[in-house]
Amino acid sequence: MTTLLILRHGPTAWNAEGRIQGSIDEPLSDAGRARVARYRLPPESAGLRWVASPKRRAWETATLLGLDPTPEPRIVEMDWGEWEGQRTEELRADGRMPARHDRLGLDFKAPGGESPREVQARLRSWLADLAAEGRPTGAVAHNGILRALYSLATGWDMRDDPAEELRNGCAHLFRIAKDGAPELVRLNISLLE
């Protein structure tokens, strides 16, 4: 089994505004940089090689943590298509996004975007490579990646809230089997002192 410690990037201005970022390359906000500056990696991070999504918000988070990651394009955020840059509240108010769009589960897809099931397909490829390499790895990624990984590990169908909250400002620990299947070890390892 291969260890994977994964965390979400720090806050952006669009996070604070409730805007969907997806594939748009937003940087961290000043408040996000200040928050990440307070992060401390947990003991589980010792000896890991690091990768990061090439999106600025993830890359900047890794850099602020003092990491020297390799870019990994398979862990970029889910593509939200036509809804990127829009506020969730506005999409719901004008009827473009159903109030409970998550009821569609793994097959939910914004117009022109990517479904969680499609995100899982690229994640499976990456996880298989991690398993084949057998190197303990840390990753800085995005909420959509964390949710897709959690779903693969637990069987959560994304039709309702997850059984456990995936909190921001935390790392999440998984083990990857030889066949690339993830197993949840521990969620919500705080990065804040």
Task: Please give the C-alpha separations between residue 145 and each of 73, 89, 118, in angstroms, as whole numbers.
Answer: 11, 22, 11
Neighbours of 79 (CB within 10 A): 19
Q: Per-residue DSSP letters for 19-63?
A: B--TTS-PPPPHHHHHHHHTB---GGGTT-EEEE-SSHHHHHHHH
> CA 54 to CA 72: how far, in whole Å?
7
> CA 68 to CA 50: how far, in whole Å?
7
Q: Considering the candidates 26, 60, 72, 77, report the single residue annotated as catalytic.
A: 77
Active-site annotation holds for 142: no
Active-site annotation holds for 9: yes
> CA 98 to CA 7: how far, in whole Å?
28
Q: Considering the candidates 9, 72, 114, 172, report the single residue annotated as catalytic.
A: 9
Q: Which residues are catalytic?
A: 9, 77
